Structure 1
Amino acid sequence: MSHRLDAWCQDRGVTLAYIQHGEPPQNAYIERLNGSVRRELLDAYIFRTLDEVRRKALDCQHDYNHHRPHKSLGYRTSVAALS
């Protein structure tokens, strides 16, 4: 872990919890999200600025929450499942 991250966490009272090395099933939801973000955002576009990344990430987040049905939510969107 980087020393800067460690210092930032200590300053804010954040405790990091790690999964066991080589055991991604311990955190399957995050692993699935990481894969989706990688495929649908990072691998799909060439970004020239950090602002481009931020805008496109917000667009993807909005689409994911408002328009994409999720099997685990009975094929409803995340927003619909909350209401």
Structure 2
Amino acid sequence: MYHGPEFTSTMLETWAMENSIKLEFIKPGSPYQNGFVERFNRSYREEVLDLYLFESLQEVREITDEWLDIYNYERLHDSLGDMTPISYLETA
């Protein structure tokens, strides 16, 4: 079993090449190049990870599933014209 980011990245790179997937990385220190993911990560961190003391991985999964349902089906997003992501997809 490999441990550490250097081994994980090597395994990911090998897997990507074997599956004809091109990896593209943002420039270090340039999170604005990936703004949608950065915004999602911030929301998840502030609304889930920072609010709970988890007792198990299963609890993390359950709370994350509940949060994702709210995030995608109930929560209005300014960037989508005050629509939920699901509503936005249905109108596209």
In structure 2, stretches of 5+ residues that fail to align are 1-5
| Aligned residue runs from structure 1 range 64-79, under 5 A | 64-79=71-86
How far did residue 16 of structure 1 move? 2.3
- The code of the aligned residue for 2:52 comes to Y
Shift of residue 25, structure 1, vs aligned partner: 0.7
Deviations 1:7-50, CA, capped at 9 Å, x for gaps: 44344443321100011111111111111111111111111111
Paired positions, count: 83
In structure 2, C-alpha distance between the alignment counterparts of 1:27 and 1:45, rounded to whole Å? 27
- 1:49 corresponds in structure 2 to 56
Partner SS for 1:61: helix
The TM-score normalised by the length of structure 2 is 0.78
1:20 pairs with one of 15, 27, 31? 27
- Provide the alpha-carbon RMSD of the alignment: 1.5
SS of the aligned residue for 2:70 comes to helix
Q: Identity of counterpart residues, as a percentage?
A: 39
Q: Which runs of 5+ in 1 are unaligned?
A: none
The structure whose RCO (Cα within 8 Å, separation 6+) is larger is 1
